[in-house]
Every structure is written in structure tokens, then in C-alpha cells.
Structure 1
Amino acid sequence: MTEAADGSGVLFAEPGARWRSVSYGPGLCSIILFIELVTASRVHWFALIFCAALIAVFVVLQVIAGQRHVSVELTENALREGTETLPLTTIDAVLPERDEDSWDDEDWESARALGELSGVPRRRSGIGLRLADGSLVQAWAKDHRGLRAALTETLDRQRGTGSIDTVEGSEGIDDRHSENGADR
């Protein structure tokens, strides 16, 4: 396991962006250069080098932004979503996944997303959390089920319980009705 800044092990991590993506633009320019050399056509040295460097610089900026604003890290003590760090002691419950068959949105789906972004980032899914003060927030990750499992396990271990409080709404799981009303 790797060590986090506070000395506790990282239980779940998503980098947000990977440095290997910086090589894609220059790699493509290298392929074009190779094709121009092999076919004995005019070689556009300056244009290919300029484009490779320009693409690489822009992608470096995107990788830095992605790692800063869209990375996720769960340790024994905190959940970091982008630039916001939430101590695990402030999390009261991990809310259940959205019911795909339901037409109604869950309350946590309209809650504030963690991090300084205006919402859940693209290609990531939200996880509802109820905080100790009663407010709702959304954690998010590409592997939202992996984060949910790691977060639930960590909170269970810290509280010494068999399972963390999972909330099924005000009705409870047994009182939920199907959409067509057949069970009413």
C-alpha cells in the first residue's frame, strides 16, 4: 500500500488523469513523420515538431488539472474528492444506490457534489452520503461501486459494527412500491 500525507494507507484511489496521455500527440506526430520519411515525400519537420510540442503542453495542463480536481483518494481517516477533504468522522451513512427502475430521483442526487466542481464530473457516478449534521452530499468516482465498498468497509471497521447505517429513504426497503402499483 502507498502512504498518504497523513501517514495512513490509501484504501481506494483514482488519479483523475494519467501522464501517459501526454505521449499520444507526440506519438501520432512521430508516426506521421515516419510515414513521410518512408514514402519519400516532403518531410514537414517544423510543423510536426511544433504540433507535437503544442499538443504535449496542452495535455500536460489537462493532466495537472485532472489530477488536482478529479482525483479521488480514501484513507483510514479521510475521503479526498478533488480539492476537498472530508474527514470520515463526519460521515453518518452511505446511502443506497439509485433504483434504476424508479422514476423518482433520490434526495442525494440533487445534493452538492464534493470537490470544488459544480457537479459530479463527467464519466463518474455519484454516491450519496449523509453527514453527521444531517446534510446530504455526493461523493463520486469512476469505479463508484469500488469506492462505495471501500468506504462502507472502512466506516464499519472504525465504528466496530457489522454494517454501516444504510438508509433506504423514509419508507424502508420493505415498504417500497413498484411503479405499476401491483404490490399495493
Structure 2
Amino acid sequence: MSEARYLEPGAKWSALLYGPLFAVLGYLAELLTSTTHTVAWVLVGLGLATITAPWIHARRRFLTVKVTDTDLWAGRESLPLKEISETSDVGAPTGARVLGGGWGTPRKYDELPIRLTDGTVVVAWAKDVRALRAALERT
């Protein structure tokens, strides 16, 4: 497997800790009162972690952007770098195909129109478009 020149994971696994941390804070807040519900807070922490895990997995699968020495990965779609002819000053025509298989650029991501060697334009996306463009232009 090629080394990544650019990697933007859709989510980090550390987000799994948010639910249990919330539960610990809730338990500590209850310690200030006379009653604590230890089992309930354990269940809350486990429940929040359980529903967060598929969310993280889905974001990592569908929103990860990666550039290796050979390919640009946008979500589950791969585009060979040898098919990219231009990344600067490319306008995105209406109806240009968005990489990754979605109907449009994911929310909170910026667009990077890319001209392919066959003349078509596709739209890549990333949170840091400048870094993505630099990684694509590096040979």
C-alpha cells in the first residue's frame, strides 16, 4: 500500500470517548447531591458509545479524503492520479460529477474542481482544499 501524501479522515475514533466522558461528568455532578445513579450513568456511557461507533465508522468510510502516490480517494471512490491533468483555475460546470458517489459536495467541505486527461471535470472535496491541491500537484 502506498504512503499517504494527504489524509483527512471523516472522523476520529477518539469521538467514542465523548459519551463516556459525558456520563462521568453526570455522575460527578450527582456526587454533589445526595443521590447517585451509578448503574444508570454506566448504561448512558455505554449507550452513547454504542450509537457513536457506527456514526464514526460511516464517516470514516464515506468522508475520508486521501491522496497516495497513485490515487486520490474521496470516500469509497478512487481516481488514479495519472488521469488528472489540472487542478488550478478549473471551473466546475453545472452537473459535474462529484467524487465519492454523492449528489453533491458533503456539507462543511469545500469543492476542488479537477480537469481529467479526457477533458471532463469532476469535483473533489476536502476541508482543506489548498492542502489537497498541493498534494495532487506534487509529483
TM-score, structure 2 as length reference:
0.91
Within 1, Cα distance between the matches of 2:92 and 2:25?
Answer: 51
C-alpha displacement at 1:77, in angstroms?
0.7
Question: Are the equivalent residues in 1 in contact too, given 2:92–2:123 (CA < 8 A)?
Answer: no
Aligned to 2:54: 61
Where do residues 106-125 of structure 1 align in structure 2 (5 Å cutoff)? 106-108=91-93, 110-125=95-110
Match of 2:125 among 117, 130, 140: 140
Aligned to 1:128: 113
Aligned to 2:8: 14
Question: Are the equivalent residues in 1 in contact too, given 2:74–2:124 (CA < 8 A)?
Answer: yes
Within 2, Cα distance between the matches of 1:57 and 1:108?
Answer: 42
Please give the root-mean-square deviation of Cα atoms over the aligned residues, in Å. 1.6
Equivalent residue letter for 1:60: A
Aligned to 2:30: 36
Within 1, Cα distance between the matches of 2:62 and 2:38?
Answer: 36
Within 1, Cα distance between the matches of 2:92 and 2:134?
Answer: 21
Unaligned 5+ segments in structure 1 are: 98-105, 158-184
C-alpha displacement at 1:107, in angstroms?
3.2
Equivalent residue letter for 1:67: R
Within 1, Cα distance between the matches of 2:4 and 2:92?
Answer: 30
Within 2, Cα distance between the matches of 1:110 and 1:17?
Answer: 28
Within 1, Cα distance between the matches of 2:94 and 2:19?
Answer: 37
C-alpha displacement at 1:126, in angstroms?
0.7
TM-score, structure 1 as length reference:
0.70
- The percentage of counterpart residues that share the same residue type is 35
Name the structure, 1 or 2, with higher relative contact order (CA <8 Å, separation 6+).
Answer: 2
Q: 3-state DSSP class of the match of 1:10?
A: coil
Equivalent residue letter for 2:15: S
Runs of 4+ in 1 over 2 A off after TM superposition: 106-110
Match of 1:86 among 79, 82, 100: 79
Match of 1:76 among 69, 75, 85: 69
C-alpha displacement at 1:48, in angstroms?
1.5
| Number of aligned residues | 139
Within 1, Cα distance between the matches of 2:129 and 2:92?
Answer: 18
Where do residues 167-182 of structure 1 align in structure 2 (5 Å cutoff)? none
Within 1, Cα distance between the matches of 2:72 and 2:33?
Answer: 56
C-alpha displacement at 1:110, in angstroms?
4.1
Match of 1:24 among 18, 26, 29: 18
Tell me which structure has the larger Cα radius of gyration.
1
